[in-house]
Structure 1
């Protein structure tokens, strides 16, 4: 593996040059970036997937109130193009799995997808008056200036210890972290104050940046269509098949093993579109558990499939209160003009 990494370093160097050139053009106003007269919060990362953006956006929607929020995403791997607003006819194919998950969970929010964040915002504002727009996975979309940027980095793989693609998982240079006012270390286990201080020293944030530590909480219930649910402890009493198509399924696998569950694990790529042959294969399984993101892609074909929801939580109540205050103060001080 080390030999392969050395062979890929020239490609990572060239990739880094391209990324830095693009940032240079924006930083020196040779490429234009637009701002808008309402609170816009960007939730993003520097790596390829797996940092917990989806549960963080869901946390923000609950904090702000779903009736006040519009969420704008690219709609990764959707089968449509251009601007699309979620409605009763939408699906994971037309929106992408994560936006469709938001639409199912927050029916009072406006959920839209568009390759161009600027076009998406302008189309939303032409027809609706959201109090806040949340930009899903938009740190690399510099055509829009967010008023508040949340940078997520996963505890097991901090961006400061990663490498640019294709050597590592960084899709952006670490210097881009300067754009964030808030850095959130996600998927943390229980951390002592000393351990948190070590991470702070590694991240070396600027004085204007606040750093928070969060973990992932798995629900005590598993759900299927129509919000039917059963306790997880009952579900895992008999063997099942775990199906995942996410960037990093290991935390879920470890959690289930810690619960003494007996299962086979079928692992697919992140945002995987299941073929008819794969669907047929899965239909032969008697009992399936999956993630909520995979559920929105599979439930149409597997009516008895179950999913295990997750939520983000802060390692301390004081930190959570401080984070909530940052979000609410930003919104209050930047109301739509």
Structure 2
């Protein structure tokens, strides 16, 4: 079994540069603290999901979990930076918006949740204003900020910090020696901390050790999640397969361009040891040379075989030209979702309660009016009760 922090590699010779980087981060934090740089609050529920580590900690599946939790009863919007997109300014996605215009993660989100507003803007304050004020989106009830823990210009109502179990911030160092974007003290801004990608067999003693090691304040809540996988589906076809269906003699090419593919590799190795790897940098844009390499590499693998990739990579591969017919026929996408290891109902209630108490949602007004009409003695200063669907 893998242990906490086992993916961390400290480059000791770069520690002097980490000190200089840390000085810059400290100055920026001071400017916010004394008010030279200002954080702006908005009169709409805003929930930020992010991390203080470079690379993947599971932001997208956690945002997707939150979207599923609220979207049946609220008009939900997801606002991100749109990393590596081929556009500028504010862009609101629709069903026809191509991936290069909004980035792979936003494209994945819009493709999965067609009834949710998905927008990108490097300036999050401007993006929030557009979502709240534009005629097409002014009925929005709650906004999720994707990867915005360092974006201090917005003051969210709930700040969720994700910490990878295999890259715990308590063992890491600042860039460039380690992978921290800011000192671990930055976790103090979080209202909720989630340790992600936990082993499914984590023991009660390990929960207690991790809880103590994180050194959170009483106002902060700590949760633990693990990754689970839905059936694989063909990117260029209709076939579906369970991961459990992988045969012992089946050759798998794991093709990814994500920040942290090691957990995925480890999980697949439970099902088969015949895995070859083609790992690219996070958000990698596949070039003609890459495509030739992928085609040639896969052609050389003996049958039976298939390619497995992630949903984020699929968003880019879908727009990649030159993939061979053989590659397209055998290319499967492996969707991932999260599972709370305990405290799921508490977490859900915390999110729902915050949104319910702070929402501009017309459902709130309607619920109160309906209750008044049914009860003539209804006291005007009492909060109405809303039934939210609990998507767990």
Shared fold per TM-score greater than 0.5: yes
Using a 3 Å threshold, how does the CA distance of structure 1 residues 220 and 252 change in structure 2: closer, same or farther? same
Using a 3 Å threshold, how does the CA distance of structure 1 residues 332 and 226 change in structure 2: closer, same or farther? farther
Question: What runs of 5+ residues in structure 2 fail to find an aligned partner?
Answer: 1-9, 300-305, 362-392
Query: Could you tell me which residue of structure 1 aligns to residue 163 of structure 2?
Result: 153
Matching of residues 268-279 of structure 1 within 5 Å: 268-279=280-291
Instruction: Check the 8 A contact 2:54/2:181 in 1, yes or no.
Output: yes
Query: Could you tell me which residue of structure 2 aligns to residue 312 of structure 1?
Result: 338
Instruction: Check the 8 A contact 2:158/2:191 in 1, yes or no.
Output: yes
Matching of residues 1-337 of structure 1 within 5 Å: 5-65=11-71, 68-127=75-134, 128=137, 129-189=139-199, 190-225=201-236, 228-234=239-245, 236=247, 238-284=250-296, 285=298, 287-301=306-320, 302=323, 303-304=328-329, 305-316=331-342, 319-336=343-360
Instruction: Check the 8 A contact 1:223/1:308 in 2, yes or no.
Output: no
Moved over 6 A (4+): none
Which whole-Å CA distance do the structure 2 matches of 1:227 and 1:10 have between them? 53
Question: What runs of 5+ residues in structure 1 fail to find an aligned partner?
Answer: none
Q: Aligned to 1:315, what secondary structure does the other structure show?
A: strand
RMSD: 1.8
Instruction: Check the 8 A contact 1:222/1:232 in 2, yes or no.
Output: no
Pairwise CA distance, 1:114: 0.7
Pairwise CA distance, 1:261: 4.9
Pairwise CA distance, 1:10: 1.6
Q: Aligned to 2:167, what secondary structure does the other structure show?
A: coil
TM-score by length of 1: 0.93
TM-score by length of 2: 0.81
State how many pairs are aligned. Answer: 332
Pairwise CA distance, 1:220: 3.7
Which whole-Å CA distance do the structure 1 matches of 2:276 and 2:68 have between them? 34
Deviations 1:83-108 (A, max 9, x none): 11112332331111111110110111
Q: Aligned to 2:27, what secondary structure does the other structure show?
A: helix
Q: Considering only CA atoms, is the larger Rg found in Structure 1 or Structure 2?
A: 2
